[in-house]
Amino acid sequence: MTTRITRAALAARIASDIPEGAVVNLGIGAPTLVANFLPADLEIILHTENGLLGMGPAPEPDRIDPDLINAGKQPVTALPGAAYFHHADSFAMMRGGHLDVCVLGAFQVAQNGDLANWSTGAPGAIPAVGGAMDLAIGAKQVFVMTDLLAKDGSSKLVAECSYPLTGVGCVTRVYTDHAVFDVVDARFVVRQAFGDNTVETLRTLTGLELS
Amino acid sequence: MTTRITRAALAARIASDIPEGAVVNLGIGAPTLVANFLPADLEIILHTENGLLGMGPAPEPDRIDPDLINAGKQPVTALPGAAYFHHADSFAMMRGGHLDVCVLGAFQVAQNGDLANWSTGAPGAIPAVGGAMDLAIGAKQVFVMTDLLAKDGSSKLVAECSYPLTGVGCVTRVYTDHAVFDVVDARFVVRQAFGDNTVETLRTLTGLELS
Amino acid sequence: MIDKTVPDAATAVAGIRDGATVMIGGFGRAGQPVELIDALIAQGAGDLTIVANNAGNGDTGLAALLAERRVRKIMCSFPRQHDSWVFDGLYRAGEIELEIVPQGNLAERIRAAGAGIGAFFSPTGVGTELAAGKEERTIDGRRYVLEYPIAADVALISARTADRWGNLVYRETARNFGPVMASAAATTIVQVDEIVPLGSIDPETVVTPGLFVDRVVAVGRRAWLDEDGFIGGVDIEGRPLDAVEEVAR
Amino acid sequence: MIDKTVPDAATAVAGIRDGATVMIGGFGRAGQPVELIDALIAQGAGDLTIVANNAGNGDTGLAALLAERRVRKIMCSFPRQHDSWVFDGLYRAGEIELEIVPQGNLAERIRAAGAGIGAFFSPTGVGTELAAGKEERTIDGRRYVLEYPIAADVALISARTADRWGNLVYRETARNFGPVMASAAATTIVQVDEIVPLGSIDPETVVTPGLFVDRVVAVGRRAWLDEDGFIGGVDIEGRPLDAVEEVAR
């Protein structure tokens, strides 16, 4: 079995690619871990789409404030330099291309940059999209953070998404537990293979032509 | 010659039709006079499209503040209960139909409610529209304040506007120095004739079928 | 004198009719106008169309309104949550209609209604099943889908402070949908922690100017807030921490 | 550390290129970034397209930029004023191109550029010569005309106060076009009366969040302002009243 790095290591790897001054939206779930690895001495501004720029870490338990939450509805704090705004302004920031980076989870990413992360299309499932489609098209760089393989062993990097799309051609980079891939000219390019992974083993795991 | 009321009397007449609680935009020029006749004991909220709701009267000369002006770029004041906002929000209020009344000047008003007040279309004239077209379509009631007759004696109430239009079918009522007219079913209806004016004399002056 | 304040939540929601479209502010619990929703439940209007971000949590607020079978349809971005069992049951039983709207389109469509925009080309949802059947256009090389305004008969929202003209300021991320919903409803009804005298709110800091607001009711300061800084000691739903410990025992 | 402050206006406007589209904030004199315009004149870029509400007043600021023949085209709502002689002369001589945009369309088109909207159906201008040749559509019985975003390479705006992240608050009606222009330009350059330490601006009252701002320069507190209330004694252009009397004598 090839090397897989831990989710925490992957979060740290993503964090290392975010420069000082970047405005970043971390999606619900695993991407929120990235915040824990942003260097304390660098100013990186976190956006949460429910109306806050300059989001800080979780509060002490006795300082929980129900009016101050993130998109995952968890209690957060506001840093010096923060700003509050309403939902239309918040999504205008996103849709207008003012965020530098967003980090999202995925069910599937296609080699043309298509993203599927909001619905498995399973019959009877209740659909819920939230801000996923806005985030997918709304940052200068859209990073995906995901395991390379689904629980059934199938690759989440695919030739074409079979799940319902979140956004078309929107993903710029995919960070997986096996390797980091860029989307370049409708093809995945291996930027970094972790441990004993090679382009060849990754081709085998994904079934894709990689370069 | 038939009776003509003064501009001040006309402003007072218009003011008497504005109920307490109304949100009102008074256009540049003669309409600003209406403010002088709003009863001091009634709360009527004045909007100026450059970003203020709750506009108050002109300041004392030694209290002029260049940051606090109206759409005519004259110094004004802000009343308790005022609010400042940016231009897109200000025009959203207008265009979204949140103003109760606006009072505008006119070159011509047609019997279908068309308004011409921004350009005479004269060759060589420099066009300038400002907020006129937004105001024309942006209040629940659009009042026009004007002399009935132009300087050359022609009627400003017309069958069809010959000057470039500001707005289509937008005027609800016209206050002139001779009479007050409502626009009803593409026709002017005389609501009040001042002094010795009658529907008959007004027909003669305007050349229009009035009722 | 303009006075938009009303004495209680029941008076605030009076006159909402069967079949009305009602916007309800809030993102999760933050900014949810719980007291107004409770008053709407007591008031009795049914066959409602609800526009909100979520479809109710637990058994209170919007979830309680749904449980009373008073809602025909809900337009929202994110109905499915760990505690949305009331909605989930109704949806699976085919007893409520659902229209999913991406959150940014929801906010912008509500703003468009308030701003007099007839429709707009949105970058969100292009090429997805939520844009199926919608008009698409490529502008300057980018694909967009045409989205229409969402207006309402009534908006129920929550703010921190109001004056009698209806000027509003909000608190932190509880601001969320309040300002755009206030602009998009024929009648905007607001619950606030407190009503202050006219002139007490700095005109530079008003978030929702009073012309968007029709009725304001004070529902009382939340015990866990303090003017001079947050005093804490509550869980995420605002329950005192010792009460939480009580429940946990 | 993020620090968007720059030491002087010349540094603030460095790099503006010939042929650039430059938004200039202000409504008349209120909010006009006079020091930045002066720096742009000194900087030298030409063949500019200017987006502003007016086309310059007197012989200073935007009017001076026009007088230097540095502007190819201006998009504005209201060029003709009692003191717009510089623009008037250039226009009559055919030496400047003019695109008249109704003021509400101007503001909304600038907002659209900042908000990622591809185009929108506007109620303003329908049936007028300013809508000639534009796409029209009737939606829900009302006529609209399709308007496209206006973006810029650079925005020059004025605000009252900034911090080093670029968060801005404005003063009174000098706010006007600043917030929307800040959102619609690739590079937003702001002059302020003063720069305050990070954390000094209440996050509830920030009008332009820092992500829209690239460079901030403090041009000094205006002498006629006072923190504790306006002290007055100036004319509408901000000149001390005794200086006005001097001129009048």
Measured in angstroms, the CA of C187 and the nearest CA of chain D are apart by: 20
Q: In a 10 Å sphere around its CB, with 0-12 CB exposed, 13-18 middle and 19+ buried, how is residue C205 labelled?
A: middle
> Domain total for chain A?
1
Query: What's residue D240's pLDDT?
Result: 67
Residue A59 lies in a domain: yes
Among the listed ranges B45-49, B121-125, B151-155, D106-110, which one has the minimum average pLDDT value?
Answer: B121-125
Q: Check the CA dihedral B17-B21-B27-B33 and report its sign.
A: positive
Least CB–CB distance from B83: residue in C116, C117, C203: C203
* Model ipTM value: 0.96
Q: Is B79 domain-assigned?
A: yes
**CA C62 to chain CA centroid, nearest Å:** 10
Answer yes or no: A209 catalytic: no
Retrieve residue D169's tokens.
């608050």
Is A133 in CB contact (< 8 Å) with chain D?
no
B209/D contact by beta carbon, under 8 A = no
Q: For chain C, which chains pass the contact test of at least 3 CB pairs under 8 Å?
A: A, B, D
Residue B125 inside a domain? The answer is yes
Per-chain mean pLDDT for chain B = 95
What token pair was written down for D239? 């000149």
Residue matched to tokens 């029209």: D136
Beta bridge partners of D137: D144
Q: Is the pLDDT of residue B8 over 50?
A: yes
**How many angstroms separate the CA of residue B98 from the nearest CA in chain D?**
14
Considering only CB atoms, which chain C residues are within 8 Å of B54? 165, 203
SS3 letters for D17-77?
Answer: CCCCEEEECCECCECCCHHHHHHHHHHCCCCEEEECCECCCCCCCHHHHHHCCCEEEEEEC
The predicted pLDDT at position D226 comes to 62
Q: Do D118 and C122 touch (CB under 8 A)?
A: yes
Evaluate whether residue A211 is within a structural domain: no
Cβ atoms of residues A199 and A193 within 8 Å: yes
Give the pLDDT confidence score for residue D247 in this predicted structure.
Answer: 46
pLDDT band at residue A77 under the 50/70/90 scheme: very high
* pLDDT value of residue C127: 97
Q: What is the mean pLDDT of residues B106-116?
A: 97
Instruction: Provide the pLDDT for residue C248.
Output: 45
Residue of C nearest to B80 (CA): C199
Dump pLDDT digits (tens) for C209-235: 999 999 999 998 776 666 556 666 677
Contact between B69 and B75 (Cβ < 8 Å): yes
Residue A43 is assigned to a structural domain of this protein = yes
Q: What is the CATH number of the domain that holds A138?
A: 3.40.1080.10
Question: Any chain D CB within 8 A of the CB of B74?
Answer: yes
Do the chains contact at D123 and B95, CB–CB below 8 Å? yes
Phi first, then psi, for residue D6 (nearest 5°) are: -125, 155
**Where do runs of H (alpha helix) occur along chain B?**
7-16, 87-95, 132-137, 199-206
pLDDT tens for the 249 residues of chain D, in order: 999 999 999 999 999 999 999 999 999 889 999 999 999 999 999 999 999 999 998 999 999 999 999 999 999 999 988 889 999 999 999 999 999 999 999 999 999 999 999 999 999 999 999 999 999 999 999 999 999 999 999 999 999 999 999 999 999 999 999 999 999 999 999 999 999 999 999 999 999 999 999 999 999 877 666 655 666 667 777 776 665 454 444
Judged by DSSP in three states, A119 sits in coil
Provide the whole-model pTM: 0.96
- Domain containing B52: what range? 7-206
Task: Note whether residue B2 is domain-resident.
Answer: no
pLDDT (tens digit, 9 = 90+) per residue, A29-66?
Answer: 899 999 999 999 999 999 999 999 999 999 988 888 99
| pLDDT at residue D230, rounded to an integer | 61
Q: Would residue B196 count as lying in a domain? A: yes
Q: Tell me, what DSSP letter sits at residue B65?
A: -
Q: Which residues pair with A55 in a beta bridge?
A: A78
- Given an 8 Å threshold on Cβ–Cβ distance, is D121 in contact with C116? no
Name the residue in chain A with its Cα closest to that of D196: A81
The 10s digit of each residue's pLDDT in B137-172 is 999 999 999 999 999 999 999 999 999 999 999 999
**Residue numbers in B near C209 (CB within 8 A):** 53, 83, 85, 93
Minimum mean pLDDT among A114-118, B121-125, D72-76: which range?
A: B121-125
- Kindly report, residue by residue over A121-161, the tens digit of the pLDDT: 888 888 899 999 999 999 999 999 999 999 999 999 999 99
C contact residues 49-68, partner A, Cβ 8 Å cutoff: 53
Best A55, A85, A100, A102 member to test D by mutation, with max D CBs in 10 Å, is A85
C-beta separation of B166 from B115 below 8 A: yes
Pick from B134, B140, B160 the residue to mutate for testing the D interface (most D CBs within 10 Å): B134
Compute φ and ψ for B30, nearest 5 degrees. -50, -40
- Please tell me the predicted confidence (pLDDT) of residue C247: 46
State the pLDDT at residue B160: 98
Q: Which residues of chain C have pLDDT under 50?
A: 244-249
Residues in Cβ contact with B170 at an 8 Å cutoff, skipping those fewer than 6 apart: B113, B114, B115, B136, B137, B142
Q: Please say whether the beta carbons of D207 and D162 come within 8 A.
A: no
Whose CA is closest to C171, among C49, C10, C27, C30? C30
Task: Give chain C positions within 8 Å (CB) of D115.
Answer: 108
Contact A36, A26 (CB under 8 A): no
Q: Is residue B114, in this structure, part of any structural domain at all? A: yes
Kindly list the residues from chain B whose CB atom is less than 8 angstroms away from the CB atom of residue C211: 23, 45, 47, 53, 93, 98-99
